[in-house]
Chain A
Amino acid sequence: MPLFDKKDKSRYATFTRRSVGMGAGMKAVFGVLAGRLYQLQIRDGDQYMVEAEDNRVSQRLIAPPRGRIMDRFGVELANSRRNYRVLLVSEQATEGVAEALDTIGKVIELSDQQKKKVMHDIAMNKKFVPVPVAENLTWEEFSRVNLHLPYLPGVQCDVGETRDYPFGKELVHILGYVASVSPQDIEHDDDPLMTLPGMRIGKRGIEKQFDKEIRGRAGASRVEVNAYGRIIRELGKDTGEPGEDVYLTIDRQVQALADQKLGDESAAMVVMDVNNGDIIALSSTPGFDPNWFNVGLTNSQWHDLTTSDHKPLLNKVTSGIYPPGSTFKTAVALAAIEAGIATPDYRVTCNGRITVGNHTFNCWAWTTYHHGHGSLDVEGGIKNSCDVFFYETARRVGIDRIHQAARKLGLGAPTGIELPGEHSGLMPSSEWKLKTYKQPWQQGDTLSVAIGQGYVTATPLQLVQQAARLASGKAVSPRIVHSVGGKLMPRPDIAKLDVSDQALARVRNGMNRVMNEGGGTAYNWRITEPGFEMAGKTGTAQVRAYSQEEHARGITKNSALDWKLRDHALFVGYAPVINPKYAIVSIIEHGAVPAHPHVAMARDVMLFCQQRDPARLPTAYPQNNSASVAPPKIQGQAEPVPPQPVKAGG
């Protein structure tokens, strides 16, 4: 019997043939598998290794503590306080983020705005990053959340740090404030901290100017995470560097008085050490509480701040531009003496009016009393603030020599103070006018400038600098920062002012007589305490052009005008008269009234400042420069030792 019939044989052959074919096919598939392995593991292996590492390792940023800002005696003007906050980890919010927020909203108050912000932050971050829901909670609110924590999946409570300004609005225009990072901020700053939820950066003032230093350097914790973002273990840690402390030259006591004196006026006041340029007080009102920005402004707060005609957001000291008015006459007088025109014998007779070309100009005395000042020398011109004297004198001196003298006093150029947004004002010259307006300088222009009107403008900071330079005879410039992180701010040697002593003496004499001689324009507001006498110069700055008609029938009384149309009241001064120590400027916008409240304020502040005499008191500044050499790192000590404030007297 044959083993196979014929048909079996043919299907055996077919089977074998086709099996061999399929075997080859299977080999080919194995070839493909091996080829793919080669592709993934050998050709692209390095790239996938990087991706696996990216998966595995996650950088957790550690926010460094923000540096403090202190006054010259170590009083903390900006520091950190405990911030009780509630965070939400979206991946752990098992019932969804919106529901979790609703539940939190039943425990503590949450506005729709806050909820929207949280949703936005969560969308911007990985789902395991804790995002702040509410910050700066009271202890009571914080405990309530903690109590409900078991029913709030994904919610974490933590005690962080937040910026605090213990003196509120008092120093806001110096310190500025911190606020949340905006998308524009991120564009200009690649610090990884910028993306940290809840991060605050300096937005104005010192906080902005020295933000990098005060912020510190981010620490990072390299952690191994699993696919759900849970931390498995820490691979390494970089503690970062805490922010640096900033010491200001401010004396908070004087600052407090200045701020209190200005009150709710739209006003500015600066006190400066005439010898080294230290700013003792710098106040611009109205202010606002910088803590608002840290916590987050409400819409109505923001609306009030941006729409108020008192411009609370503007630092009027550095960014407010005013016609200097009669305070500028000191510069004209200096120019006249330096030019050899206003010799001791030089006199101008004021009949109340002066005609130049076919225009007639009035002296303020004519407008007010309908008589002139009579014959005046330079000192008398300053004392009486005689317009006619300065019209005539300026006409003889010419704009370019006035320009020269004013520039020596620091007008027309930024002072270089360590605050952002400083304006330079304008000190015109004939060249400037030709360049800007393509028109030659007119004599009428000079006459306007002679009384501090027309093209000339200045910031209050420039005016106090001018007073300090006149008082000290040195080219001092205002400086408000003493040191950052123990490193002294560079202070170039202060040169002697490039004017003759005799000229300075005569201008000072005039300013002395303004206050301390009967008939001086500020005699009623003089300091009577012996040894503390102040010299000064008042000024009134027009904010509108007077019509011909008004000139004819007399200027309308300020009090009869709308607030916005009233003249600004200015005062610059220094004290004591002998060996001056401090200079001051005070300006009340639209505040030119006969009672001269701005001079009264300046008097009170200057008296207090002299009696306290912060320039003589031992400061709490970090000990000279030992910090510019890196201190030895002490193992296991996270916090740097803060400089010990020297106990300040007074």
Chain B
Amino acid sequence: MALRPYAAAKRTSSVADKLLEVNWGLVLLICMIGCAGIAMLYSVAGAHLQPWALKQIGHFALGLIVLLAAAVIDIRVWMSLAYPAYGLALLLLIAVDVVGHVGLGAQRWISLGPLDLQPSELMKIALVLALSRFLHGKSIEEVSKPIPLAIGLAMIGIPAIFVVLQPNLGTTLIIVADGCSMLFLAGLSWWWIAPTLGAAAAAVPLAWRFVLHDYQKARVETFLDPESDALGKGWNITQAKIAIGSGGVAGKGFTLGTQSRLNFLPEKQTDFIWTSFCEEFGFVGALALLVLFAVVIFYGVQTAMSARSQFGRLLAMGVILNFFFYIMINGLMVMGLIPVVGIPMPLLSYGGSAMLTVMFGFGLLMSVHIHRQVEIPRHSGGII
């Protein structure tokens, strides 16, 4: 990845030039993680490509194309598309309430022909884009002024409300955490942050009383004492811990995880795929995978800091934080450190929507990397 002269990053560069600029090391890492996921889907299906592994290969291949396509598009184009994308995602999110179908007790999908679209997934990226654009235009003093701050919070809050109404607590958490992190990175004053954190701590009991659904409360209660209901609601956590723990140092071996093969693990192909991985590859394998994730995140943070435009920096950091929050919440959840919330493991879990969103996010990150030398004036609105 030779550092090209500044001119090479200009809009006049050809697509071929830009492909050379792609951080292929990062793409390789992503492919490694993606392959691990596909292998696990093969394993938990009882060493069969059906019903998940084969389709996931398709998802991943499509994801790679999306990644590269997004990577070669100028970040200024993405900047222009930020608000329309946000508006579209918000519309789809509202539409879910109208035409979405019911799955797992939560209304989350919208059917677009063969593809079941999850607007909440889309929203995570759209919000990062829109916030990046919005905050790009705000100086460090402006970020902490009431009106811009209110607008920023509204951009986070409105989709969050729709997602929590679906209801989808996990994604809501990620949207809010991601959005707030971006406000923080944009330079929000500690005078705002400290009191808010205090108020949030105080609000937890209120949320418990008035906001959370019964099934969400049940998850929290189960988490706090999983053995109290080991065959009922505590089943997921208990079995996941058994699966991970029984993997031991070296694991039970590929396709030999008894917990997943014999269906003791719930939703083993989605939220609990990482559990199966830990069971079959043990501490060594799980640690290796964690290192891969950490290296990807390291690349992402480095990309963000190397970008010359605030938009690029915020976009890269937003994408990588999104990726990180997935890993954190899923990892903590399946290992019994936080309550069960429906969050998949990025790149590993089965699912087209999540895969495409994550890969698209990496595409944007890559675009920031390729266009890191591009400067964008504070009051620019992109190039379309």
- The stretch of B120-128, B240-248, B355-363 that contacts the partner chain: B240-248
Nearest B residue to A11 by beta-carbon distance? B140
Q: B139 an interface residue at 8 Å Cβ cutoff?
A: yes
The docked-state distance in angstroms from the alpha carbon of A10 to that of B142 is 13
Residue contact A10 to B243, C-beta cutoff 8 Å: no
Residue contact A226 to B263, C-beta cutoff 8 Å: yes
Q: A374 an interface residue at 8 Å Cβ cutoff?
A: no
Residue contact B264 to A44, C-beta cutoff 8 Å: no
The docked-state distance in angstroms from the alpha carbon of A37 to that of B239 is 15
Q: B352 an interface residue at 8 Å Cβ cutoff?
A: no
Residues of B contacting A22 in the complex (Cβ-Cβ under 8 angstroms): 181, 184-185, 301, 317, 321
Q: B154 an interface residue at 8 Å Cβ cutoff?
A: no
A222 shortest CB reach to chain B, Å = 14
Q: B223 an interface residue at 8 Å Cβ cutoff?
A: no
| Partner among B247, B297, B298 whose Cβ is within 8 Å of the Cβ of A45 | B247
Residue contact B335 to A45, C-beta cutoff 8 Å: no
Residues of B contacting A646 in the complex (Cβ-Cβ under 8 angstroms): none
Residues of B contacting A44 in the complex (Cβ-Cβ under 8 angstroms): 245
Q: A369 an interface residue at 8 Å Cβ cutoff?
A: no
Chain B window 237-265, contacts with chain A (Cβ cutoff 8 Å), 1 for yes, 0 for no: 00101111111110000000011001110
Q: A639 an interface residue at 8 Å Cβ cutoff?
A: no
Q: How many residues of A contact B (CB 8 A)?
A: 44
| Partner among B141, B181, B262 whose Cβ is within 8 Å of the Cβ of A55 | B262
A574 shortest CB reach to chain B, Å = 68
Q: B375 an interface residue at 8 Å Cβ cutoff?
A: yes
The docked-state distance in angstroms from the alpha carbon of A42 to that of B245 is 7
Residue contact A30 to B262, C-beta cutoff 8 Å: no
Asked, given contacts A5-B378, A30-B294, A52-B242, whether A227 binds B263 with beta carbons under 8 Å apart, the answer is yes
Residues of B contacting A501 in the complex (Cβ-Cβ under 8 angstroms): none
Residue contact B262 to A33, C-beta cutoff 8 Å: no
Asked, given contacts A19-B304, A27-B294, whether A11 binds B310 with beta carbons under 8 Å apart, the answer is yes
| Partner among A34, A41, A51 whose Cβ is within 8 Å of the Cβ of B248 | A41
The docked-state distance in angstroms from the alpha carbon of A227 to that of B265 is 8
| Partner among B139, B184, B186, B249 whose Cβ is within 8 Å of the Cβ of A42 | B249
Interface residues of A in 1-41 (CB under 8 A from B): 3, 5, 7-8, 10-12, 14-16, 18-19, 22-23, 26-27, 29-30, 32-34, 36-38, 40-41
Q: A151 an interface residue at 8 Å Cβ cutoff?
A: no
Residue contact B185 to A18, C-beta cutoff 8 Å: yes
Q: B156 an interface residue at 8 Å Cβ cutoff?
A: no
Q: B286 an interface residue at 8 Å Cβ cutoff?
A: yes
Residue contact A232 to B262, C-beta cutoff 8 Å: yes
Residues of A contacting B262 in the complex (Cβ-Cβ under 8 angstroms): 55-56, 224-227, 232
A13 shortest CB reach to chain B, Å = 9
Q: B187 an interface residue at 8 Å Cβ cutoff?
A: yes
Nearest B residue to A3 by beta-carbon distance? B375
The docked-state distance in angstroms from the alpha carbon of A44 to that of B248 is 8
The docked-state distance in angstroms from the alpha carbon of A439 to that of B332 is 84
Residues of B contacting A437 in the complex (Cβ-Cβ under 8 angstroms): none
Residue contact B335 to A37, C-beta cutoff 8 Å: yes
Residue contact A45 to B246, C-beta cutoff 8 Å: yes
Q: A139 an interface residue at 8 Å Cβ cutoff?
A: no
The docked-state distance in angstroms from the alpha carbon of A32 to that of B243 is 19
Q: B139, B187, B278, B314 — which one has the most chain A CB atoms within 10 A of its CB?
A: B187
Nearest A residue to B284 by beta-carbon distance? A41
Q: B18 an interface residue at 8 Å Cβ cutoff?
A: no
The docked-state distance in angstroms from the alpha carbon of A225 to that of B262 is 7
Residue contact A41 to B244, C-beta cutoff 8 Å: yes
Q: B305 an interface residue at 8 Å Cβ cutoff?
A: yes
Asked, given contacts A22-B181, A55-B258, whether A33 binds B244 with beta carbons under 8 Å apart, the answer is no
Interface residues of A in 282-296 (CB under 8 A from B): none
The docked-state distance in angstroms from the alpha carbon of A495 to that of B252 is 70
Q: B324 an interface residue at 8 Å Cβ cutoff?
A: yes
Q: A375 an interface residue at 8 Å Cβ cutoff?
A: no
Chain B window 121-155, contacts with chain A (Cβ cutoff 8 Å), 1 for yes, 0 for no: 00000000000000000011101000000000000
* 19 A-B pairs with C-beta separation under 8 A: A8-B310, A14-B140, A18-B184, A22-B184, A22-B317, A29-B324, A32-B337, A33-B327, A36-B332, A42-B249, A44-B245, A45-B248, A48-B244, A51-B242, A52-B245, A52-B258, A55-B239, A55-B259, A232-B262
The 10 closest A-B pairs by CB, nearest first: A48-B245, A52-B246, A226-B262, A45-B248, A227-B263, A41-B283, A7-B139, A40-B245, A11-B140, A14-B187
